[in-house]
Amino acid sequence: MTSKEHEGRLGEEFFTPGSSSFTEFLAAHRPDLLPMRRPFPDGVRAAPDRFPHGTTVLALTYRDGVLIAGDRRATMGNLIAQRDLEKVHPADDHTAVAFAGTVGLALDMVKLYQVELKHFEKVEGVPMTLKAKASRLAGMIRQNLGQAMQGLAVVPLLAGYDVKAPESARGRIFDFEVTGGPYEKYDFHAEGSGSPYARGALKKLFRPGMSRHEAALAALHALYDAADDDSATGGPDIGRRIFPTVALITEDGFERLSEPETEELSHEMVEQRRHRPDGPNAAP
């Protein structure tokens, strides 16, 4: 067969039986396409001010499912690298992932994770369970450990609607650390440089059974508190009309709040802060 006849034909690797993991397929046949590779020789670390880093993301459960949100700022050292970064992405119909850490690696990891879930469903004929999705993402993070140890860490936050869980506990949140350990968090969680302040706000504002509106406002207040104390976290930029990303995952699937709705909620939150700069009181 001539080289021209080979053009456009799939290689033998596509017809060789293997696992349902697209990441494992790439590792076996095209490892150069994986974003999780050690980029520097041993002993070399990335300068912290040379690569954009994303900062604060959070998630909380509410009456209809789970909400996931993030600020829009990326920093390089003491510089603002980007003001409108998207840190919240749908992974599939009922799962979303947000990230803190090295932006370029994080975006590549999110894209690969989206393909990983779609590939599994096509091969197996059924969707992956939410716990299995967390395990797959943990494996991808573990493969990035070499780069994380050199200063290029990616720390995702996974939120999903688990149709197989009891009705009162279908909104679920998974946190990860750089070695790949997945940890389920209950009620709420936050990651990134502003996360201690965001978690402190959510500890005060969260309560079970919150409405969509209440949950979105609580998330915006938490991000506002994070931006108030952490220079790497961006608050709502009223002048540029850049507002945090807020998404919901319910029985109906993933829904990102529209820009007009997020803007209206942000103005409502800022107006509340005019009267109480330290934020609203905890619910009785």
Active site residue ranges: 55
CA dist 88 and 246 (Å) reads 8
Tokens of 54: 């994303």
The phi, psi pair for 246, rounded to 5°, reads -130, 130
Q: Which residue is listed with tokens 């302040």?
A: 197
- Residue 30 near residue 140 (C-beta atoms within 8 A): no
Q: At what angle do helices 212-229 and 259-275 cross, to 10 degrees?
A: 60
Burial 124-157 (b: 16+ CB within 10 A, else e): eeebbebbebbebbbbbbebbeebbebbbbbbbb
Angle ∠(158,131,105) on CA atoms, nearest 5: 40
The phi, psi pair for 281, rounded to 5°, reads -70, 160
Strand-pair partners of 185: 173
